[in-house]
Amino acid sequence: MMQLPLAYMNPGTGSLLLQVVLMSTAMVVLSAKSFWQTLRSFWTRKK
């Protein structure tokens, strides 16, 4: 029977992982918003 290795994760590591997840989510949201605004401005140009 295989045993899973147990590892200690200190609060600093948990905080770092939380920051990575939150900043990655913010980056995706803000990039999508910027891309969407660019597309909208392209579609709504006056002739």
Q: 29: phi > 0 → left, psi -120 to 50 → alpha, else beta; which?
A: alpha
* 18: exposed, middle or buried (Cβ count in 10 Å: 0-12, 13-18, 19+): exposed
Per-residue pLDDT of the chain (47 residues; tens, 9 = 90+): 677 777 777 889 889 999 999 999 999 999 999 999 999 988 887 65
pTM above 0.75, yes or no: no
